[in-house]
Amino acid sequence: QVQLQESGPGLVKPSQTLSLKCTVSGGSINSGGYDWSWIRQRPGKGLEWIGYVHYSGSTYYNPSLKSRFAISIDTSKNQFSLRLSSVTAADTAVYFCARVVRTSRKFDFWGQGTLVTVSS
Amino acid sequence: QSVLTQPPSVSGAPGQRVTISCTGSRSNIGAGYDVHWYQQLPGAAPKLLISGDNDRPSGVPDRFSGSKSGTSASLAITGLQAEDEADYYCQAYDTSLTGSDVVFGGGTKLTVL
C-alpha cells in the first residue's frame, strides 16, 4: 500500500518562501504511470489543485494560480517537494500531497495533509 | 468559482437515498473524461470513493455509486448511515484553454439528520 507523508514548517512569515516535502513509501516514485501532485485546502474551503511532477522532472501547474509555485522531485529519496514564494495570509491552508494515475487523472493515494499558517 | 458545480449541501435521514450532482461542460465531463468522487471526513484527508465514473476502490461499500450523462455526473448513496456525514468532491480532467488539467467541484456537505 502506497503511503504519502507531508513534512514542513507549520508557520511561515509573510513574504517568505514555504517549502514542503512529501515522502512516498510502499512504492517507487520512479513509476512512469503516475504523477505526484500537491493540492491545498484553505480553511473552510474546497480543494484547489496546485500542480504535479513526473519522475522525469516534467511539471504542470494550475494556470489559474499565479506562478509562485514550484514542484520538484528527488527520485533518490522517493520524495517530491513544493516551494511557494512570497507567501501571504491567503496561502494559509492545509497542503496535501497525492499520487495521480496518469491515464485517468484520479488521485488514488493522499497524504494526511499539513497545516501551514502564514503569520508574522 | 469552481469549473465543476456541486450543490453546497444535501441532507438525508438514516436509511434514505441521497444524490449529489456535479455539473461540468463540454471541455471536461461532456468530453467523456472520467469523473472521480472523493469523500473527506471531518479533519481528514480526501479519500478516493468512486473512480472512472462508477468503479469503487477496494473497501468502499456498494451503497456508493456513480453515474454520468452528458455534461453532468452524480454520486448516489443508498442506505444512508451516520458515518457518511462528510464533504464530497467530484473531479475530472479538463481541456479548455482557460481551464486547468485537473478540476475539482466546490464540494458538497452531506448532513445525516
What 3-state class would DSSP assign to A91? helix
User: Distance from first CA to last CA of chain B, Å, rounded?
Assistant: 28
pLDDT of residue B98: 66
Q: Is the pLDDT of residue B2 over 90?
A: no
pLDDT of residue A36: 97
Q: Which of B93, B101, B103 to mutate to test the interface with A (most CBs of A within 10 A)?
A: B101
Contacts of B43 (CB under 8 A, 6+ apart): none
pLDDT of residue B101: 85
As a whole number of angstroms, the distance between CA B4 and CA A27 comes to 32
Q: Is the pLDDT of residue B65 over 90?
A: yes
Q: Is the pLDDT of residue B70 over 90?
A: yes
> Taking CA atoms, what residue in A is nearest to B104?
A47
Q: Is the pLDDT of residue B79 over 80?
A: yes
- Closest Cα of chain B to A22: distance in Å? 14
- Closest Cα of chain B to A120: distance in Å? 25
> Taking CA atoms, what residue in B is nearest to A101?
B51
pLDDT of residue B53: 76
- Closest Cα of chain B to A47: distance in Å? 7
Cross-strand bridge partners of residue A47: A41
DSSP 8-state assignment for residue A63: T
pLDDT of residue A37: 97
Residue ranges of chain A with per-residue pLDDT less than 70:
none
Contacts of A94 (CB under 8 A, 6+ apart): A40, A41, A113, A114, A115, A116
Q: Place B8 in a pLDDT band, splitting at 50, 70 and 90.
A: very high
Q: Is the pLDDT of residue B22 over 90?
A: yes
What value does the mean pLDDT take over residues B14-19?
A: 97
More confident residue, A65 or B8: B8
pLDDT of residue B97: 66
* Residue A110 amino acid letter: W
Contact A101, A33 (CB under 8 A): yes
